[in-house]
Each structure stands twice: as C-alpha cells, then as structure tokens.
Amino acid sequence: MTFSGLFVPLITPFTADGDVALRALESLAHELLDAGATGLVALGTTGEPSALTPAERAAVLAVVERVSRTRRTPWIAGVHDGIVPASADAAMHAVPAFVRPGEEGVIAHFAALAAASPVPVVVYHVPYRTAQPLSAGALLRLASLPNVIAMKYAPGTLDATAMAFMAAAADVPGFSILVGDDVLAGPLLALGAPGAVMAAGHIATADYAALIAAWQSGDLPGGRALSHRLAPRSAALFAAPNPTVIKGVLHAEGRIPSAAVRVPLTPAAPEQVAQARGLLTLVSPERAAQGLSTPVTPEQVAHV
C-alpha cells in the first residue's frame, strides 16, 4: 500500500467526568471520513496516548479499527508501548525522544523496528520535539529501509536539508512523505509530498482534503490559494499545545462532549478557541451560514 491523501490523527474525546468518550470517538471518525479524509491515525500524539491507560488505548484502537474496516479505509496505529496491532495498515513510530542516539542510532533503531513489525512502518520525524536532527542523507537511509513505507515529516522549517530530502525521496520506490507540519503543508505538498497527517484536518476537513487534491492534480493556482488561506487557520489551531484548541473548537461545534484534556495539558483559553473558529470562514463561508463559525476580520488574520 502506498499512502497518500489526508490522514487525520484522531483526538481522544473525554466526557465531562474525564472518561474516554468512545461513542463520540466513533462518530467523529465517521464524520472525518464522510468529509473527505482518506484515512485515520489512532493514538498519534494528538490522541494524548501517554495520558491513557493500557485499557483505554486498546479501546481507542478497537474503535478506529472497526470504523476503518467498515468504511474500507486505511488506518495507522501510533505505537507507544511496543505493541503493534497486526490489524493496522501501518504502525507509526517516532524518532526516539530525549535519548538523542545520533543518526546511526536512529537508523539502527528503525531497522530493528521495521524488521520485527508485523505491518509496514511509518517513521515520525519531528526534530523540534525529539531534539534529534537528521541530515538529508540519514532521512533518505530511513526511507530506504525494508518495510518502511512512509514518513510523517515535520521538519519545523524549510531549509536546505528539507529541500534535499524532498528531492531525493521522490526516487525511493514504495515510499511516501506525509506532511506532518500543518502550517507548512502547502509548501511541502508543492514540493511533491503526496499526502499529510494533519491534526488541523479535524476542523472543516473538506478544505484540507481539497488542498491535497489540488496539488496532486496539478491545480497550481488552486493549491496556492488554499495554502495561503489555510496556513493562518492551522497556526491558530496550534496557538496552544496540541490538541487543546482543536478540542475546544470541536466542543464548540457540538461534536464532542467536552473540551477536556488530561494533565500535563490544560484547556485552551476561550479567546484561542474563538480565534480559530473565526478563521474558518476564510475558506468555508457556508459554515457561517450554518451557524458553525463567526466571521473573520482582517485584524484576526493579522494577529495569527
């Protein structure tokens, strides 16, 4: 399987009492697929997996698997405890954080993971969180490992390393770059990434699906216009630690029972949620007519 299109890394909704809201999770998963998402990611970092118990993580995986099999759509399982669901279409592993094993250590780590994994592996490279930078050469070696089929690529900036890797990775057979930096989605898609794993895709999913489709189809004016308009919204959705703003917007839209997160996260401020909701009308004016957002002002755009 070659991964492309929009994958949404699901939040984990909680009830007002703090329990995992599995029915809301299932409903949200269907909504995202209905709105144009290609597939789902269960227990990505957006899903607060470290704050869940093993039983809660298993329950989340079961819901996402059931929805994906019913809809016949691909799903990726985030792996945090070494347990890889054999039923997933792929397993996503982050570059080891805090340890900073160096490039050779990272490559050895993923070579061992990929060799032992019952499903294909997606590497999650996010150096501004793991504190482990990787050269374009090291990234290309990861992309070329057997059983590694994709990389969620969140470089944090478009520099010479990113440009060199994007160019070289296009020649690796059976490998896909999935954009992992929501604000940089447009430029990375323009450089050839065939898809994205975007938490921002929870909100007005069709807009983000259209962004990817525009670049895939060669619609340069459409892709450029959507990129410019969606970048401020994506920035607003990450104005506080992920997924607090996204949960605030989903709750305000009545799509999850609460905006609760678990410590060490705390809920986003009301003004941050309002800012993100206001920016929805930049691309989706019909949502305002449906009462799902409030008009955006030039001052709000400038503030992002």
257 to 15, 30, 53, 147, 201: CA distances (angstroms) = 6, 16, 20, 39, 19
| Catalytic pick among 124, 153, 208, 247 | 124
Q: What does residue 5 show for φ and ψ, rounded to 5 degrees?
A: 85, -165
Q: 124 an active-site residue?
A: yes
Residues 6+ apart with CB under 8 A from 116: none
**Residue 183: alpha-carbon gap to chain centroid:** 11
Cβ–Cβ under 8 Å, residues 6 and 212: yes
**Residue 297: alpha-carbon gap to chain centroid:** 28
**Residue 71: alpha-carbon gap to chain centroid:** 20
Buried b / exposed e over 155-187, threshold 16 CB at 10 Å, is bbeeeebbeebbeebeebeebbbbbbbbbbbbb
Which among 22, 5, 7, 48 has a CA at the least distance from the CA of 200? 7
Which among 75, 56, 54 has a CA at the least distance from the CA of 65? 75
| Catalytic pick among 128, 152, 208, 247 | 152
Locate tokens 């999935």: which residue?
Answer: 178
Q: What does residue 14 show for φ and ψ, rounded to 5 degrees?
A: -120, 150
Q: 152 an active-site residue?
A: yes
CA torsion angle for 251, 242, 65, 146 (degrees, to 10)?
Answer: 160
The catalytic residues are 124, 152
